[in-house]
Amino acid sequence: MILDQIPPGFKVNMLELRNIQKTYEGQLLLHGISFTVAPGETVCLLGPSGSGKSTLLRIIAGLENAEQGDIFWDGENIASIPVHQRRFGLMFQDYALFPHKSVRENIAFGLEMQKLPRTEIDQRVTTALTQVNLTGFESRRVTDLSGGEQQRVALARARAPDPRLLMFDEPLGALDRTLREHLGTELREILHKSGVPAIYVTHDQEEAFTIADTVMLLHDGHIVQSGAPDEVYSHPASGWVAEFLGLGNLLTGVVRRQAASQTVQTGVGTFSLKCGHAHHDGEQVHVLIRPAGASLGVEATGRSVRGSVTDILFHQSGFKVTLDNGLYFYLPAAPKIGERVAVQAGSVECLG
């Protein structure tokens, strides 16, 4: 009935957070966080350590209470529902596998809590293990497993009871680089196939960009930007975002307005730039000069900078050339150290 009244194209939200606030040891950790997760959507909460992203997960899971704000699931306020009745799955950092239980017993735990019949539990444990490529590991001790195997068991344990929402707290943090990339891709496939909405917390941007449908950047208790990965990448909302994501050379500049034209004055030169919204004369802005797509030589577009070369490093995407003013660029051909060059930057952007 109600579904019929929903206009086509209207986004249904499974999870909705409204104005969540939390203090930790007297300091405001989360300031009025609000966001939604749609069915099948994977949201990545990305932020430096201490930004409160794990706490946010624990609040959603019900392990901690927010001081203010509400959590809705499918329109129903779930703030008063205790953790064990929320039917959410949470995969912990370092996995928190029960060391006194076998692989089978770990995965079966959530199913036993639902009081399912023995045969069904066994069957679902086997299925869960097959899904994570650990067939035959049932009776192994979890403490004998390698880090990657433990991670898979933790994933199987979190998924086995068919949670309505899956949450991941830095699930790959304890693994080495190669394994992390491999398991990250695998996780993305699993999440997309299952269609279960997911929230994924990490401080590693590559991981976030691999897995997320939507990336949310958490800074100082606020969500400072939220959007699809490519959107966030190409349009960072602030200097902090650009710096945190390591998008390139970040400078501070001052807006100079003269009649209809607007320029931004920085330590390495003056650029004629459009900023996101109108700025008055003398206002401070951030300027992002991306290192990729640069070339040697001057063109009359106001995107060039001059300097003498102080360092040249070979890099996969060309030569990383550093100038005496601190800027760096990726260039297809290397100049000489000490040479004075003019570099045509790929893009120069003004960030609010």
Partner 1 sequence: MTRRALYWLAPSLFLLLFFFYPLVRVFLLSLKPDFGTLPTLAALPDFLNVLQFTFYQAFLSTLLTLLAGVPIAYLFSHFDFRGKPLLRALTAVPFMLPTMVVAAGFNALLGTRGWINLALMGAFNLSTPPITFVGTLTAILIAHVFYNTTIVIRLVGNSWAQLDPRLAHAARVLGADSTTVLRQITLPLLRPSLLAATLLVFLFDFTSFGVILLLGGAQFRTLEVEIYIQAMHFLNLPAAAVLSMIQLLCTLVFSIIYSRVVTHAVIPLNPRAASINIHPVRAIREKIFVFAASIFILVLFVLPMAALPARSVVRLEPDRGERGNFQPALTLNNYRELTINRLGSLFYVPPIDAVRNSLVYATITVVLSLILGFPAASALARPARLEKFIDPFLMLPLGASAVTLGLGYILTFNRWLYAPILVPLAHTTLALPFVIRSLQPALASIPQRLRDAAAVLGASPRQVWRSVDLPIIARAVTAAGVFAFTVSLGEFGATAMLARPEHPTMTTAISRFLSQPGGLNYGQAMAMATILLVVTTTAILMIEKIRLPGSGEF
| Interacting residue ranges for partner 1, rule: CB under 8 A | 58, 61-63, 82-90, 92, 94, 96-100, 109-110, 113-114, 143, 157-158, 161
Minimum distance of partner 1 from residue 110's CB (angstroms): 4
Q: Between residues 121 and 331, which has the closer beta carbon with respect to partner 1?
A: 121
Q: Between residues 7 and 82, which has the closer beta carbon with respect to partner 1?
A: 82
Cβ–Cβ < 8 Å for 228, 214: yes
Minimum distance of partner 1 from residue 149's CB (angstroms): 15
Q: Between residues 87 and 219, which has the closer beta carbon with respect to partner 1?
A: 87
Minimum distance of partner 1 from residue 183's CB (angstroms): 19
Q: Are strands 165-169 and 295-296 parallel, antiparallel or unpaired?
A: unpaired
Minimum distance of partner 1 from residue 84's CB (angstroms): 5
Minimum distance of partner 1 from residue 327's CB (angstroms): 43
Q: Between residues 163 and 269, which has the closer beta carbon with respect to partner 1?
A: 163
Q: Between residues 18 and 87, which has the closer beta carbon with respect to partner 1?
A: 87
